[in-house]
Structure 1
């Protein structure tokens, strides 16, 4: 398996994804042999030039606003326009960012503007593909929330449009740019846990907000919501504020737990392991608590087979998501190898390594003596090294946008372009198909197509 590691290290050294965002973390201290060692991950500041980038927000809901707030923390970035289908969000945008904003319900009006360099797309999932393609065709760089498409069949059209455009397109699985993921990638490549054979991810929530029970404004009506435009690319229905404001619960607009949360875990895993994705997908689950008319489960389990490639050995993955977790929820990614394991979050990595030695005293003849023998070694627990982000770390979301802006200004690449984004989104979206059909689905992760 050493060949996998050589290939991995080669990719680690050459990949624009890592080189664009990770130079400071790669020099980190990692004392594998010491028990309970703590090492601090760091992030250096970089300048991006004096040109002011002018941004527009398309979709000003919770995640869109969070994206724009993070983007505006960077120097030489300003917001000039906002588009949303609910008037209340446009009013909020004016109050939050100023009267100078161009406000509209029609995203095409934003794309016509010459003062817009890039757009942030934070709409419901069923609009991601079309707005992304229209933005690229209009000459705008784009940052689109995950998943970048609503269905697997939309992926190649968007990828092809991006390749022809020559523009920068970033998918918003922001954890990719975390210090935790970057350190885990390095440790795996260096052999800290040996050869990977298993991974698991878990994402749990408990609060109504976390379970997509978003608030419904008192003034929600067809006067304040452009319901006709919202449905213009999907099934026509009478006005229903739940389907607009709690859109993640419905398959016409959202992609369920897998499209919302599994895709984050796939993105992180693929970055850490340098993988293209699984070849076999299965999912099960059910609606256990949030019986509010939603069309998607609130508990979802997925299992996946990853084939042996030049990049990594074969391994298995299990993912779990629970919206009724009475412990208040937790999130992690764990990668297991034949010499140890890593528990990974965006802000830290816990590395555990086996303390086994080849000259095990139990294999010696002397070990059979009733009283043992002088100098006999003790049983030891696994060593543990903890890597934590330094105080003042601005976070993965900030760094994801740093990567996006750097690529625009310097003509570089991003950590999550449409090819990477689709390879993370597709197996997540296929979980919905597996769940609905109650069957395995085979996926070609190299050519990115259902087999």
Structure 2
């Protein structure tokens, strides 16, 4: 079912969106949406899902199960993905959704307050920026953007339009990572010297792609969007956590933008550096270095895939102990440190027990989420800078205040990327 707004709806949208940046979301009443029995007299936030492939499955189910959220629209460039999403939501009582391959139709729908952007990385920024400009609040998957330039624009738009943004760095809403951050922040393992992060590896893209016809019902040119044009191959557009499009620099930052976006984000959080970043990036293979690593101005070094990691995703090494943390578990040296009880005078980081719920609650309160655009940009910049260093196989010097690469003109140009005509970044004025 495709939504076709009438002229009066368009006028209503233009009127309400101009005030939305200041006034907050336009709450959709359940009665209006035919959900009186489901929500009673409560009001609901209308949500549109843009990109309904692999990573979106959990988001659709979770948001759709919230009593104060109403699915309104789904969007994908694959008709098969739209059909699957329609069935998934219909099975949960949400029928008659707007279904379209054009994200602009979702953003222009006046009944939508919130968009959930779960496309491949190269589409995150443009869609999120257009949504904020139209007065929508945005949940966007990590890494928030493909480039540093895009991240800067996201931060600017978040502030200018007064929007609520949640970046999908959901480890911040995990109790184990929160405990780790609190232990590090309070100096309970002394001064941090090193951090090990386990990222793993992706295969390289095939040297010679098997060119095949574009599948019926797939808008391949729009999937490519701002990136260079290539003849179609199945692997290039495949959504797969172990490879597919994630293997290509055109669409992401490989493992830096995959697990790095999660783990580097936790390092930033634990070290209390959400408003800054490292100053140097050294790639594996340069000057005999076996492991990629980066350093902060005070000398703390973060290593990729260095052993031993003691079976954990992140290992914080301090002068008086260690913290080892992964999804679902945490350990420490000394062992009983993880049972430390924090008091009123201790530092305690932002607490969120559910990443998606934190987003919805923040929309209502108009207070920042646990991972707003400012945070997502700083963590994303580390992924992007690490990727630039890896591609050039030489070290980079980074000024985290000016947000500029200072020692390499070629690398500095890679802070942004050329975009195909017709897919320019939105102008936010």
Normalised by the length of structure 1, the TM-score is 0.69
What does residue 277 of structure 2 align with?
277
Q: 1:436 to 1:113 in 2, by over 3 A?
A: same
Provide the secondary structure at the position in 1 that maps to 2:371: coil
Point out which structure has higher relative CO (alpha carbons under 8 A, 6+ apart).
1
What does residue 128 of structure 1 align with?
124
Structure 1 residue corresponding to 2:161, chosen from 160, 165, 174: 165
406-415 vs 223-232, which deviates more?
223-232
Q: 1:164 to 1:68 in 2, by over 3 A?
A: same
Structure 2 residue corresponding to 1:418, chosen from 373, 384, 388: 373
- The 5-angstrom pairing of residues 279-294 of structure 1 reads 279-284=279-284
Structure 2 residue corresponding to 1:319, chosen from 298, 304, 319: 304
Q: Is the 8 A contact 1:120 1:143 kept in 2?
A: yes
RMSD: 2.9
- The one-character-per-residue Cα deviations of 1:249-306 (angstroms, maximum 9, x if unpaired) are 22222221111111111111111111232110122279xxxxxxxxxxxxx9420111
2:353 and 2:86 map into 1 onto residues whose CA distance is 23
Provide the secondary structure at the position in 2 that maps to 1:284: coil
Q: 1:77 to 1:175 in 2, by over 3 A?
A: same
Provide the secondary structure at the position in 1 that maps to 2:354: helix
Structure 2 residue corresponding to 1:305, chosen from 277, 295, 308: 295
Provide the secondary structure at the position in 2 that maps to 1:239: coil
What does residue 323 of structure 2 align with?
342
1:415 and 1:283 map into 2 onto residues whose CA distance is 30
Structure 1 segments of 4 or more deviating over 6 A?
none
Provide the secondary structure at the position in 1 that maps to 2:397: strand
In the TM superposition, residue 320 of structure 1 has moved relative to its aligned partner by 2.1
In the TM superposition, residue 348 of structure 1 has moved relative to its aligned partner by 3.2
- The 5-angstrom pairing of residues 49-448 of structure 1 reads 50-98=42-90, 99-204=95-200, 221-245=214-238, 246-275=244-273, 276-284=276-284, 301-308=291-298, 314-320=299-305, 331-353=312-334, 383-386=335-338, 399-448=354-403
Larger Rg: 1
What does residue 414 of structure 2 align with?
none
In the TM superposition, residue 105 of structure 1 has moved relative to its aligned partner by 0.4
1:321 and 1:85 map into 2 onto residues whose CA distance is 39
In the TM superposition, residue 107 of structure 1 has moved relative to its aligned partner by 0.2
Q: Is the 8 A contact 1:202 1:330 kept in 2?
A: no
In the TM superposition, residue 110 of structure 1 has moved relative to its aligned partner by 0.2
Provide the secondary structure at the position in 2 that maps to 1:203: coil
What does residue 380 of structure 1 align with?
none
Structure 1 segments unaligned to the other structure (5+ residues): 1-48, 214-218, 287-299, 309-313, 323-328, 354-382, 389-395
In the TM superposition, residue 401 of structure 1 has moved relative to its aligned partner by 1.0
Q: Is the 8 A contact 1:349 1:387 kept in 2?
A: no
- The one-character-per-residue Cα deviations of 1:7-64 (angstroms, maximum 9, x if unpaired) are xxxxxxxxxxxxxxxxxxxxxxxxxxxxxxxxxxxxxxxxxx9431221110111112
- The one-character-per-residue Cα deviations of 1:217-255 (angstroms, maximum 9, x if unpaired) are xx9834311012122322122222321222212222222
2:329 and 2:218 map into 1 onto residues whose CA distance is 42
Q: 1:397 to 1:61 in 2, by over 3 A?
A: farther
In the TM superposition, residue 75 of structure 1 has moved relative to its aligned partner by 3.4
2:56 and 2:306 map into 1 onto residues whose CA distance is 23
Q: Is the 8 A contact 1:350 1:387 kept in 2?
A: no
In the TM superposition, residue 423 of structure 1 has moved relative to its aligned partner by 0.8
- The one-character-per-residue Cα deviations of 1:179-234 (angstroms, maximum 9, x if unpaired) are 1121122222332111111111113479x9xx999xxxxx9834311012122322
1:441 and 1:345 map into 2 onto residues whose CA distance is 29
Provide the secondary structure at the position in 1 that maps to 2:198: strand
- The one-character-per-residue Cα deviations of 1:151-182 (angstroms, maximum 9, x if unpaired) are 22222122111110101011111111111121
1:330 and 1:203 map into 2 onto residues whose CA distance is 13
Q: Is the 8 A contact 1:205 1:330 kept in 2?
A: no
236-245 vs 141-150, which deviates more?
236-245
- The one-character-per-residue Cα deviations of 1:312-370 (angstroms, maximum 9, x if unpaired) are xx411102299xxxxxx9651111111111111243321213xxxxxxxxxxxxxxxxx
Provide the secondary structure at the position in 2 that maps to 1:89: helix
2:160 and 2:106 map into 1 onto residues whose CA distance is 21
1:285 and 1:73 map into 2 onto residues whose CA distance is 48
Q: 1:68 to 1:442 in 2, by over 3 A?
A: farther
186-195 vs 404-413, which deviates more?
186-195
Higher strand share: 1
Q: What is the aligned residue count?
A: 335
